Amino acid sequence: MWAEPKSEFRQKDRTIGERLAAGKELRRNFPRARMGDFEVASNRADPVAILEEQGKSRVQDLVPIRYARMLSSPFAFLRGAAAVMAGDLAAGQENTGINVQACGDMHIANFGVFASAERNLIFGINDFDETFPGPWEWDLQRLVASIIVGGKFLGADTALCTDSVRAAVSTYRKRIRQYAEMGNMELWYATIREKDILKTITSAQQKGLKKITTKARSRTHVQVLGKITDIVDDTHRLKDDPPFVIHETHTKAGLPIEEALAALLESYKISIGDDRKKLLSHYKIVDVARKVVGVGSVGTRCWIIFLKGSHSEDPLFLQVKEAQASVLEPFLAKSSYANAGERVVQGQRLIQGAPDIFLGWGEYDGFHFYVRQLRDMKGGVEFDPQTVKIENMPAYCSLCSWALALAHAKSGDAAMIAGYAGNSNELDEAMVRFAFDYATQNEKDFRALQAAAKSGRIKVAPGETN
């Protein structure tokens, strides 16, 4: 169980040097080498039972799709099993007691490029459903475990996986130390821009980055209009793709779905500024559809809202996504937000630095939700073993840990973390041990889910490929 961190913002009156020293002092009671220890708790919960419990609060006809997606590979399982790993991290050992706004579902597929309010492309974390205040090292441990599991899925050998973990942790240490020296306002405005990345990668890697950013820049609302809509009776309508995208005419309570979503948006408007309200007022709802999203998120309620502005080439696509309690919350203090959607949004605003202009939250018909734009100038690495350039894995993992260090620096005490992490490779080697050991456990849990599917304990959607 995680205790209230003694170092939380009470360190703010100390100098940077004093906070670095305080972080280093923490090694006495919690040596960095111990961070590499992973032992299965004697009372560890059945991983399948954890997933089944999560499924109880979800749309029941979608839960089999979630299992199907998780069963596609051990990497997909890890992505969907954030709740399982949260329990392992909480039960496994003590921690440094340095608090940050943790992502809660940190893995190498949870990064990408997105547009800032000024329409500049920024690299960073791109999913915040599980964000919650917690120990910084939990994010780093989940990230390095995903490097091993994801690396094996993509075809990397043991040596390359090891190098990738070392590269990630070394970069995290160096970046968190740099952020520790920044002034508060400088850190507040800090982002990872395309030109910043170009300075750190080879010319061959720059070609790959250019491909990603060019594709992201093309993903405007107009491009989405052509991709996910059809012309029906001279009007654009969202395409059906059952069971992944479907039109619903009424809610379970019998209310017309357009009316329900309009009421939902009215609740959401309370959370955004007057300038955003004014902008949104120029758009009218054209169509809505339910959509299946993600891996771990499958089964939570999610809709696409298609709105139109002053003419047919002025579309706006919003995603409304249900928010539930973070997987970290059972092991930490109770959330300070009554609305889980607000928890997600406020966490994203705190650690991302350049959030979506339409990001907000609301409540409707007993469930919490948050709203964001759909696909607008978003992009990332495609984790396809057939096309990925596996030799670039260390560089990519370094970029991910850079973004993680920035998120932690914005929300926590960078100097304390830097003081603890230090300048040697001791933390790097500890994380290598942890990453491989947890990857082994993840493989066992994946096989347990396979066994549950084979025995009929869980129902799995056939032929799920989306």
pLDDT score recorded for residue 230: 76
C-alpha to C-alpha distance for 439 and 145, rounded to whole angstroms: 6
- Angle in degrees, CA 133, 445, 101, rounded to 5: 10
DSSP letter for each residue of 284-314? EEEEEEEE--SSTTBTB-EEEEEEE-SSTT-
- State the pLDDT at residue 6: 46
pLDDT of residue 182: 96
Q: Alpha-carbon distance 347 to 245, whole Å?
A: 28
Residue 464: predicted pLDDT: 58
Task: State the Cα–Cα distance between residues 456 and 448, nearest whole angstrom.
Answer: 12
Q: Tens-of-pLDDT digits for all 466 residues of the chain?
A: 444 444 444 455 789 999 999 999 999 999 999 999 998 988 999 999 999 999 999 989 999 999 999 999 999 999 999 999 999 999 976 889 999 999 999 999 999 888 776 777 888 998 999 999 999 999 999 999 999 999 999 999 999 999 999 999 999 999 999 999 999 999 999 999 888 888 888 877 877 777 777 776 666 666 767 777 777 766 788 888 888 888 887 776 778 877 888 888 889 999 999 999 999 999 998 888 989 888 878 888 899 999 999 887 889 999 999 999 999 999 998 999 999 999 999 999 999 866 789 999 999 888 899 999 887 666 777 888 888 899 999 999 999 999 999 999 999 999 999 999 999 999 999 999 999 999 999 999 999 999 999 999 999 998 754 4
Radius of gyration of the chain measured on its C-alpha atoms: 22
Q: Provide CB contacts within 8 A for 336, sequence distance 6+.
A: none
Q: Which two tokens stand for residue 158?
A: 């043991």
CB 336 within 8 A of CB 283: no
3-state secondary structure of 152: helix
Q: Is the dihedral of CA 403, 80, 439, 390 positive or negative?
A: negative
Amino acid at position 283, single letter: Y
pLDDT value, residue 222: 67
Give residue 3's pLDDT: 44
**Strand, coil or helix: 256:** strand
CA distances (Å), origin 333, targets 3, 81, 90, 408: 8, 21, 12, 19
